[in-house]
């Protein structure tokens, strides 16, 4: 690479805003609107499917709706491995982001317009086609936009971790407003208005990306890594051990996702049908409850960042494996709070305050898990397969999310209280097991952290 190109790249990755490259903010803003659309749609899906036909819903039973949600949300996290592979071998990361954004926007527009097809009997087909397009676009976009963030921090280290935290703060801003705007419009005004708001959000994200990608990202993420390899390279022993760590972390991430993503499924239905959601005379719309997790995340991220920096100065910053264990443990505490609330309420409808407290711990868990795990995966993965393995991490989230539908459907045969107890015990056991394994895992990272 000649000097002029090297200088251009240095300009792209040099700190510009708040100590980070400008390119971080264009990908973060784009992902923010993608999350606005996804959370807005996901928060409404089970509610829409189970709502009576007289109110515009489909009138499905809870177990069937939860299984469809599980398949949809699971595939939304599984398909990114295909997108990562495509970016590594045929398309570039940037092309995948662009095409994925367009396809997601088209999918949301189909969801919003499905009601118009009811007169010709194509409402269900149009809605499912929209869901399929969103899944395809998400598979292209999710791993590649996260991988582009790593290009902005070639030096790695704590600054990359902070960059991922900024990235995830933007994601949660989108998630918060997606739940507020799309959730309110869908449940209180009309389902298609909620899905339409999600469509508008994705179109805004696409326009932002088109406007600033060249100026703020330059050529970052435009190269197909496999084309730079003159021959297939065997994995070194260190690379093999690091990938085994990714696999173990992924298995525990599956368990984390099973507990966390009940928020869009079983807990969503439980909040609507079994909780007293009235506070000071105002009945809280069900999708708004998902913003508690987001607000908790916002509070926890800067506090945790301050704590990690303080511990880093004395060489006591916990491994990302410990942080995953703590995140799973936070879910266990959240479910224990909910179990206590249900048990203390007896025959009366439990107050929504108990679920709000549970979601506070969910937000803490998310702050401990997401940015740290994606950053760790990007550090452990061989560079030539980074996007693919980041996509592989999303597969673990997808498997866990798929399982949420089946765990949630147990409400047809068991009480909610017994399911909550099972989730609390399972999360606690997983947290303890991972904490015990962490010293061994850290040795196999070979200094990648």
Each residue's pLDDT tens digit, 434-444: 999 999 999 99
Per DSSP, the residues of 89-101 read HTS-HHHHHHHHH
CATH number of the domain where residue 275 is located: 1.20.1250.20
Q: Is residue 1 part of a domain?
A: no
Q: CA 396, CA 269: separation in Å to the nearest integer?
A: 24
Number of domains in the chain: 1
Pick from 293, 286, 288, 284: nearest CA to 261: 293
Let me know if residue 9 belongs to a domain.
no
Segment 308-339, tens digit of pLDDT: 989 989 989 999 999 999 999 999 999 999 99
The reply to whether 60 falls in a domain is yes
For residue 267, what are the domain limits? 18-226+235-443
Q: What is the pLDDT of residue 1?
A: 40
Query: What letter would DSSP give residue 223?
Result: S
What is the secondary structure of 249-273 as a DSSP string? HHHHHHHHHHHHGGGTTHHHHHHHH
For residue 10, tell me if it sits in a domain.
no
Give the pLDDT score at 14: 67
Q: For residue 372, give the nearest of 446, 429, 304, 431 by alpha carbon.
A: 304
Whether residue 6 is contained in a domain is answered as no
Q: From residue 273, give the alpha-carbon distance in Å to each of 276, 285, 434.
A: 9, 12, 35
Nearest-angstrom CA–CA distance, 284 and 267: 15
H or E element at residue 211: helix 191-217
Within a domain: 2: no
Which candidate, 226, 246, 223, 227, places its Cα nearest to that of 96? Answer: 223
Residue-wise pLDDT for 393-433, tens only, equals: 888 998 999 999 999 889 888 999 999 999 999 999 999 99
Residue 207 to residue 153: CA distance in whole angstroms: 25
* SS3 assignment, position 19: coil
pLDDT of residue 163: 85
Report the C-alpha gap between 364 and 327 in whole angstroms.
7
Average pLDDT, whole number, for the chain?
Answer: 89
Q: What is the pLDDT of residue 386?
A: 78
7 lies in some domain = no
Q: Is the residue at 30 inside a domain?
A: yes
Cβ pair 412, 63 in contact under 8 A: yes
CA 446 to chain centre: 28
In the chain (449 residues long), the average pLDDT of successive 10-residue segments reads 54 73 92 90 92 92 92 88 86 93 92 84 92 93 85 78 83 91 92 90 89 89 70 82 95 96 94 94 94 92 90 91 97 98 91 97 94 86 79 87 91 91 98 97 90
Give 425's contacts (C-beta < 8 A, 6+ positions apart).
332
Q: What are phi and psi of 220, to 5 degrees?
A: -65, 130
């Amino acid at each position: 690479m000649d000097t002029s190109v090297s200088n251009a790249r240095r300009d792209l990755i040099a700190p510009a805003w708040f100590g980070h490259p400008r390119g971080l903010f264009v990908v973060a803003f784009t992902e923010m609107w993608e999350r606005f659309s996804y959370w807005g749609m996901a928060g409404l899906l089970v509610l829409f499917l189970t709502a009576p036909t007289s109110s515009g819903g489909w009138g499905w039973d809870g177990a069937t709706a939860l299984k469809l949600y599980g398949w949809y949300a699971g595939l939304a996290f599984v398909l990114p491995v295909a997108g990562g592979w495509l970016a590594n071998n045929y398309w570039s990361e940037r092309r995948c982001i662009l095409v994925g954004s367009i396809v997601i926007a088209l999918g949301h527009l189909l969801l919003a317009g499905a009601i118009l097809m009811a007169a010709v009997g194509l409402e269900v087909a149009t809605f499912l086609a929209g869901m399929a397009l969103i899944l395809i676009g998400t598979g292209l976009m999710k791993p590649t936009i996260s991988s582009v963030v790593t290009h902005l921090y070639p030096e790695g280290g704590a600054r990359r971790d902070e960059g991922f935290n900024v990235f995830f703060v933007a994601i949660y801003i989108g998630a918060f407003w997606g739940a507020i705007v799309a959730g309110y419009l869908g449940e209180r005004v009309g389902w298609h208005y909620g899905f339409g708001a999600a469509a508008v959000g994705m179109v805004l994200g696409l326009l932002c990306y088109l406007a600033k990608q060249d100026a703020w990202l330059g050529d970052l993420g435009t190269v197909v890594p496999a084309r730079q390899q003159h021959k297939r390279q065997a994995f070194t022993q260190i690379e093999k051990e690091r990938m085994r760590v990714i696999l173990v972390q992924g298995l525990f991430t599956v368990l984390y996702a099973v507990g966390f993503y009940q928020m869009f499924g079983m807990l969503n239905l439980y909040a609507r049908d079994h909780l007293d959601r009235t506070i000071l005379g105002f009945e809280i719309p069900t999708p708004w409850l998902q913003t508690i997790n987001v607000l908790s995340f916002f509070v926890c991220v800067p506090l945790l960042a301050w704590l990690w920096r303080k511990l880093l100065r004395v060489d006591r910053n916990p491994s990302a494996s410990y942080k995953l264990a703590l995140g799973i443990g936070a879910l266990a505490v959240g479910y224990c709070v909910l179990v206590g609330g249900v048990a203390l309420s007896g025959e009366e409808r439990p107050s929504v305050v108990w679920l709000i407290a549970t979601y506070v711990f969910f937000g803490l868990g998310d702050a401990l898990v997401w940015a740290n795990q994606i950053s760790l995966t990007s550090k452990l993965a061989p560079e030539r397969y980074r996007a693919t393995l980041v996509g592989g991490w999303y597969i673990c989230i997808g498997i866990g999310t798929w399982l949420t539908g089946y765990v949630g459907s147990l409400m047809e045969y068991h009480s909610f209280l017994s399911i909550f107890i099972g989730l609390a015990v399972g999360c606690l056991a997983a947290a303890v097991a991972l904490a015990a394994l962490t010293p061994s895992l850290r040795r196999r990272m070979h200094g990648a952290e």
